[in-house]
Amino acid sequence: MSKLLLIDDEEDVRYSLQRIFDAADVELAAAASGEEGLKVIPKFKPDLVLMDVRMTGMSGLETLRKIRATDPKLPVILMTAYGTTQTAIEAMKLGAYDYLLKPFDIPKLKEVIANAFKAARDMKQVVSYEPLLESEDYELGVIGRSGPMQQVFKLVGQVSATDATALITGESGTGKELVARAIYHHSDRAQQPFLAVNCAAIPEQLLESELFGHEKGAFTGATVQRIGKFEQCNHGTIFLDEIGDMTPLTQTKILRVLQSGTFERVGGNTPMQVNVRVIAATNKPLEAAVAAKQFREDLFYRLNVVRIHLPPLRERRSDIPLLVNYFIGKLAKEQQHQPKAVMPHVIKALEKYHWPGNVRELENIVRRAHVMAKGDAILLNDLPLEVAGQTDAPAFSGVAGETAGADAAALARQLFQWARRDPKLKVIPAVERELVIQALKETADNQVHAAKLLGITRATLRKRIEKFGIRRELNVK
Ligand SMILES: Nc1ncnc2c1ncn2[C@@H]1O[C@H](COP(=O)(O)OP(=O)(O)OP(=O)(O)O)[C@@H](O)[C@H]1O
Ligand SMILES: [Mg+2]
């Protein structure tokens, strides 16, 4: 559950905001002044602060300054009434996360708060990249032991120790954002903010202003000044996700920031100086975009100082069992549940699939299977057809051995769960009958083959057919 601290000297505002968050998955604390808020922070340890700008006693701006000095990574959203926007803008320069205008537009309020919680999580949940992550408590980690992933860990380690720009490439779902956060958490800037900007999610004409801010009147609709992410994130790390989608003008500005740390707000002519570490990512082949003159070559080289390429999952299949285990452990912890076992042939099927959506797809499928599985083991049936269908192993192998033993045990547990729903049911005869019917179906009523399949003699099979009253056409060869 995320924790929110509300600082406002007006009781009405505290009351109405409390009501908004009552139903949501948010733990809320309130303080009636800046002074009180500063006292509550070390005790309550909020993930986010929502604070009024104009308060009696210590002002919002002053409180913000104090928070930034002790908790630079704690996002603060300012609330401002008409007429105090200028103060809110000043606050953004001091590194406030965002500001909201009173009276509140509730959906907008919820959106801004959800984004800020995500930013807080990105900064807080340390991503470890130790290649041999054996941790039992399932901290967030970049998992993998395959050769290509070891190469990735080596690079992450090297680039973390520097301030160099890093470019992370790889297909969708290969873990680019996770790696970006691992770099941040292991860098000297780990105590400073980390802000992620998804360049593809922001309309082209707004991206420049999002990154660099704008002056009042810079374009139609720019009614107030705005502070961009680079200014807000001074001394911190910016993650430019989907960097392939930028206009030439924005590319030029990014290049300049990387070269000299300077930029101007849109519509402004005062050069601003910042110290920001840039990590960029893309799932598009940037070289091709350079060749097609859609992406500046000089910017490409500037970003490409350290290149970390994440191979698709199908090229590191040996990591699949490890990843599955990790996701199961995480799920079990989340749901406070015993981790479910995964049958060896299920792992085999997962290893065979081609994973167009990479690790994200694997995580989703494991999550779904964990929900679908009725017993305490995940079976082939719990996988989507296109994944399960890739295997040639039968759902339950008849070969004696470890695999068959584990499979049979899982099956038995399932059967008992099913049987518990019907107290009159006698498990062995019920299952035996079905097994005989199924064996006859599968062998086209060939009793010799059916008996073999069942592991009993033909005479015994005959007795069972009689006992259970199974009448099928005999087709003895
Ligand atoms: N090596 C890994 N170990 C553990 N989890 C991983 C790993 N790689 C990816 N994941 C998980 O898979 C999901 C997708 O990862 P991420 O968002 O980092 O991918 P991406 O490359 O940024 O994808 P996209 O290009 O679609 O944005 C996340 O939930 C992430 O935690
Ligand atoms: Mg991503």
- Tens digit of pLDDT for each residue in 153-192? 989 989 998 999 999 999 999 999 999 999 999 999 999 9
Ligand 1 pocket at CB < 6 A: 142-144, 170, 172-178, 283, 323, 359-360, 363
Nearest residue by C-alpha to atom 10 in ligand 1: 175
d(CA 44, CA 29) in angstroms, rounded, equals: 8
Candidates 91, 84, 97; CA nearest to 4 is: 97
Query: For ligand 1, what atom is nearest to the CA of residue 241?
Result: 27
Query: For ligand 1, what atom is nearest to the CA of residue 281?
Result: 22
Biggest alpha carbon–alpha carbon distance for the chain: 98
- Tens digit of pLDDT for each residue in 201-253? 998 889 999 999 999 998 888 888 899 999 999 999 999 999 998 888 999 99
Confidence of residue 400 (pLDDT cuts 50, 70, 90): very low
What SS3 class is residue 379? coil
How far away, in angstroms, is 168 Cα from ligand 1 center? 12
- In eight-state DSSP terms, residue 71 is -
How far away, in angstroms, is 172 Cα from ligand 1 center? 8
Q: At 35, list the tokens.
A: 């002074």
Nearest residue by C-alpha to atom 13 in ligand 1: 360
Amino acid present at 414: Q
**Helix count and strand count (H, E) for the chain:** 20, 14
- In eight-state DSSP terms, residue 338 is P
- The residue behind tokens 């300077």 is 262
- In eight-state DSSP terms, residue 128 is B
Least confident range from 128-132, 145-149, 283-287, 447-451: namely: 128-132
Least confident range from 104-118, 165-179, 377-391: namely: 377-391
Candidates 210, 197, 264; CA nearest to 236 is: 197
- The residue behind tokens 């070390």 is 42
**Nearest ligand, measured from the Cα of 133:** 1
- Tens digit of pLDDT for each residue in 50-81? 999 888 899 999 999 999 999 999 999 999 88
134 pLDDT more than 60: no
What would the mean pLDDT of 6-23 be, rounded to a whole number?
86
How far away, in angstroms, is 359 Cα from ligand 1 center? 6
How far away, in angstroms, is 361 Cα from ligand 1 center? 9
How far away, in angstroms, is 363 Cα from ligand 1 center? 9
Candidates 50, 43, 41; CA nearest to 17 is: 50
